[in-house]
Amino acid sequence: MLHILAEFFSAAARRYNQLTMNTATPRVPAIVLHKPLQALNTLGIAASATAYLPVSSYADLQAVRADQSLSTLPRLVLGGGSNLVLSSNFDGLVLHLVNQGKIVVGEDDNYTIVRAQAGENWHAFVQWTLNQNLPGLENLSLIPGSVGAAPIQNIGAYGSELKDFFHSLTYFDFATGEVCVLDRDACRFGYRDSIFKHELRNRAVILEVSFSFPRSWQPNLSYSELANEISARGLITPSAFEISEAVIAIRHRKLPDPAVIGNVGSFFKNPFVAHEIHGALKEKYPQLVSYPQADGSIKLAAGWLIDQCGWKGRSLGAAGVHEKQALVLINRGGASGADILKLAHAIHEDVRLRFGVTLEIEPVVI
Ligand SMILES: Cc1cc2nc3c(=O)[nH]c(=O)nc-3n(C[C@H](O)[C@H](O)[C@H](O)COP(=O)(O)OP(=O)(O)OC[C@H]3O[C@@H](n4cnc5c(N)ncnc54)[C@H](O)[C@@H]3O)c2cc1C
């Protein structure tokens, strides 16, 4: 593993050094002005951007940075728009990652390393890895969005997280103009968290992501709903494909399709509380849904807390809470970002007053 790691890093650096030399005079990219963003965010909010650029290569970013009229604009990096709340029109430059491509870049007796460009669709990429006989990402099937955005919040579902199979990534640093490579530790992945939400916020544009697939694959059925679905299908030793199919079926049952009903999946993170607080809550609410963590803290199910406050299926104007899943806020048609945030605030306050627990919004609010 160490051997392919070292080779990988020097190859990435070589590739980008060549690019730097080839683009000494960066071309000015074709900017679109007053770009409507409704079709580019899964909440379907009718906002627009002052300027928009589909980014297909590192050279596009280099050109933006070299152009003073563009480099001074506020920037929004956009993938599939499935984890964004546009609270108003965006008065700046949207950089929409559309670069495509995925290849096996190295393998040894224990691991296979795969590299994918940021603009690749996440679910299509997962299916491609399964078709290459590289199991691992099956529990993360059908998560909307792009490969490039997946590390931002260390996407996770059904007992698995991106970091479990992450190898490294390459990003363009707007502050320095450099292309940098980060490995798993350097990304500081946490629960729906990474360095890109902190030090590298508003600075890094992820260009490509690499994954490491161990040859010794084991199914991950730690999440009881998935384990139940697998046994309901009569599967004793499920393949990665069969797990992917089960995950897809559960997600179709539970979550609204953003192509039909605007949403960003879970709107709030599951909150963590100390052992004593959990004990007090459990005494008062014996049905409390909670998951003990290895570090001694307890994760609460935000959806359960919201449901108990009576929000499931309710609306505030055109913004609503999904009928089947209290954690999912939806656009019932014509909701603005402000409408969605007003509803989120009302839910936040109800949960805080009733349970003394503070909910944190999961999507990025712009
Ligand atoms: C129905 C539904 C179900 C979902 N289920 C899950 C789930 O199970 N688990 C989960 O973790 N998430 C889930 N999500 C949330 C979402 O799909 C993920 O967070 C996804 O990774 C977002 O990808 P995106 O390309 O749409 O990002 P966007 O919404 O375009 O961007 C999200 C953030 O990442 C930044 N960003 C995007 N691309 C880049 C890049 N290349 N470089 C730097 N910054 C970038 C943006 O600036 C923004 O801050 C769900 C969403 C929906 C609509």
What are the distances in angstroms from CA 166 to CA 39, 109, 290, 291, 343?
30, 18, 28, 25, 35
Q: Residue 353 is encoded by which pair of tokens?
A: 């007053």
What are the E-state strand segments in the chain? 32-36, 48-55, 75-78, 84-85, 90-97, 102-107, 111-117, 156-157, 160-161, 166-173, 179-183, 204-214, 262-266, 272-273, 290-292, 298-300, 315-316, 319-321, 328-331, 364-365
Looking at residue 30, its pLDDT comes to 87
Is the CB of 127 inside a 6 Å radius of any atom of ligand 1?
Answer: no
Q: Could you tell me which residues come within 8 angstroms of residue 204 by beta carbon, excluding any fewer than 6 positions away?
A: 171, 172, 173, 174, 180, 196
CATH code given to domain 262-365 = 3.90.78.10
pLDDT above 50 for 343: yes
Q: How far is the C-alpha of 300 from the C-alpha of 352, rounded, in Å? A: 13
Q: Which of 168, 192, 229, 244 is catalytic?
A: 192
Tell me the pLDDT tens digit for each residue of 97-140: 999 999 999 998 899 999 999 999 999 999 999 999 999 999 99
Q: Count the neighbouring beta carbons within 10 Å of the beta carbon of residue 314.
A: 15
188 is catalytic: no
DSSP label at 309?
T
Is the CB of 141 inside a 6 Å radius of any atom of ligand 1?
Answer: no
Q: How far is the C-alpha of 155 from the C-alpha of 143, rounded, in Å? A: 8
Is the CB of 143 inside a 6 Å radius of any atom of ligand 1?
Answer: yes
The pLDDT-based confidence of 20 (bands split at 50, 70, 90) is very low
Inter-residue contact 271 to 358 (CB < 8 Å):
yes
For CA atoms 9, 11, 17, 23, the dihedral sign is negative
Which amino acid appears at position 292 of this protein? Answer: P
Residue 87: helix, strand or coil by DSSP? coil
192 is catalytic: yes
| Confidence (pTM) | 0.93
Inter-residue contact 198 to 153 (CB < 8 Å):
no
- How many angstroms is it from 6 CA to the middle of ligand 1? 30
Q: How far is the C-alpha of 277 from the C-alpha of 275, rounded, in Å? A: 6
pLDDT above 70 for 25: no
The percentage of residues in the chain with a pLDDT greater than 90, rounded to a whole number, is 89
The pLDDT-based confidence of 23 (bands split at 50, 70, 90) is very low
Residue 133 CB-density burial (10 A; 0-12 exposed, 13-18 middle, 19+ buried):
exposed
Phi-psi region of 173 (alpha: psi -120 to 50; beta: other; left: phi over 0): beta
pLDDT above 50 for 22: no
Q: Which of 82, 141, 168, 266 is catalytic?
A: 266
CATH code given to domain 102-218 = 3.30.465.10
Q: Residue 139 is encoded by which pair of tokens?
A: 């529990």
Atom of ligand 1 nearest to the CA of 154: 11
CATH 3.30.43.10 correct for 2-97: yes
Is the CB of 153 inside a 6 Å radius of any atom of ligand 1?
Answer: yes
Domain extents in the chain: 2-97, 102-218, 262-365
Inter-residue contact 118 to 206 (CB < 8 Å):
yes
Same fold for the domain at 2-97 and the one at 102-218?
no
| Pick from 79, 118, 120, 93: nearest CA to 29 | 93
27 is catalytic: no
Is the CB of 258 inside a 6 Å radius of any atom of ligand 1?
Answer: yes
The pLDDT-based confidence of 352 (bands split at 50, 70, 90) is very high
